[in-house]
Structure 1
Amino acid sequence: MPFPLDVKYIIETEEQLEVQFPSLFKEKMMKENGGEAATEYDDWNLYPFFDQSDKKRISRTCQDIVLGTNQARKWNNFPSSAIAIASNGCGDQLVLIPLDNDKGKLSEVIYFWYHETGALEKVAESIQELIEE
């Protein structure tokens, strides 16, 4: 169940991963930390930001963006600079990648990463295209 998030947990994750998440993604996650997204061919569970505000939120967010990214990075063909933001439960990930001119600032563009081949495919210009309001 998604729920609001204090921006301080996003900042902590950005510091841990040494990235800056795009503004539309941060806005969505501050309203609903986690939830679902849909692409043309699959449904996705968004990784939440780890929220340490109480025991219930800790248990609901322990499978967070950092853990999802670290698990994906165990695959030989996962892009080293990508950040996993969602999983379809089959190993594939939705990812954000850095802007060309700034390694730490992530683009709003969302990519599908196929775990068997390592292929990246653009699926949306931003998170707004993948969520139902």
Structure 2
Amino acid sequence: MAFDLSEEWVIETEAQLGARLPAGYRAAMMRRNGGGIVLDGEDWALYPIRDASDRKRIARTCNDILRETAACRAWGGFPPSDLAIAGDGSGDKLVFLRNGDAYGPAPAIWRHETGGLIAQAPDIGDLSSALGA
């Protein structure tokens, strides 16, 4: 179930990452933190951004992007600077690639079987309707 998100939690997550999230993604997640999208016929479950404003929101965001990314890194083969923002249920992840102190707006698919990255869209704006932006 997707729900709104205060910008303070986005800022806190960015501080923990040490990098800024793409503007389109930030705006979309503040409107609808989590939920699902369909890209090229594939269903993806968006990982929420952690929201600790109350017990209900903590429970709803326990699989946040920081936790899911840490779990991916523990598998091995996951790019160390990338950020997992969604999963397809089979182990593949939709990721943002880090470029200095920001994540680029172009999401890619990380295939867990090969460790390869596949470009998905030129920027998050192309996915804005799927993300609810």
Per the normalisation by structure 1, the TM-score is: 0.91
Flag the structure with higher helix content.
2
Partner-residue secondary structure (3-state), 1:73: helix
Give the corresponding residue for 1:110: 107
Task: Give the corresponding residue for 1:38.
Answer: 38
Contact kept? 1:75, 1:115, Cα under 8 Å: no
Shift of 1:127: 3.5
Deviations 1:52-78 (A, max 9, x none): 111111111011000110011112211
Aligned to 1:65: 65
Question: Which whole-Å CA distance do the structure 1 matches of 2:131 and 2:65 have between them?
Answer: 21
Determine if contact 1:46/1:85 at 8 Å carries over to the other structure: yes
* Unaligned 5+ runs, structure 2: none
The residue type equivalent to 2:67 in the other structure is: L
Aligned length: 130
Question: Percent same amino acid among aligned pairs?
Answer: 42
Determine the C-alpha separation between the residues in 1 that align with 2:109 and 2:52: 29
Q: Is the 8 A contact 1:51 1:57 kept in 2?
A: yes
Kept after mapping to 2: 8 A contact 1:96/1:111: yes
Q: Deviations over 1:89-118 (max 9, x none)?
A: 11110000023xxx1211110100000111
Q: Distance in 1 between matches of 2:131 and 2:29?
A: 13
Which residue matches 1:86? 86
Structure 1: distance between partners of 2:131 and 2:114: 29
Counterparts of 1:4 and 1:127, CA distance in 2: 19
Matches within 5 A, 1:2-41: 2-41=2-41
Quote the Cα distance in structure 2 between the aligned partners of 1:67 and 1:108.
Answer: 21
Coordinate RMSD, CA, aligned: 1.3
Residues 9 and 132 of structure 1: is their aligned pair in 2 closer, same or farther, counting only changes over 3 Å?
A: closer
Query: How much has 1:50 moved relative to structure 2?
Result: 0.6
Partner of 1:48: 48
- Contact 1:36–1:45 under 8 Å retained in 2: yes
Gaps of 5+ in 1: none
SS at match of 2:119: strand
| Structure 1 position 41, deviation (Å) | 4.3
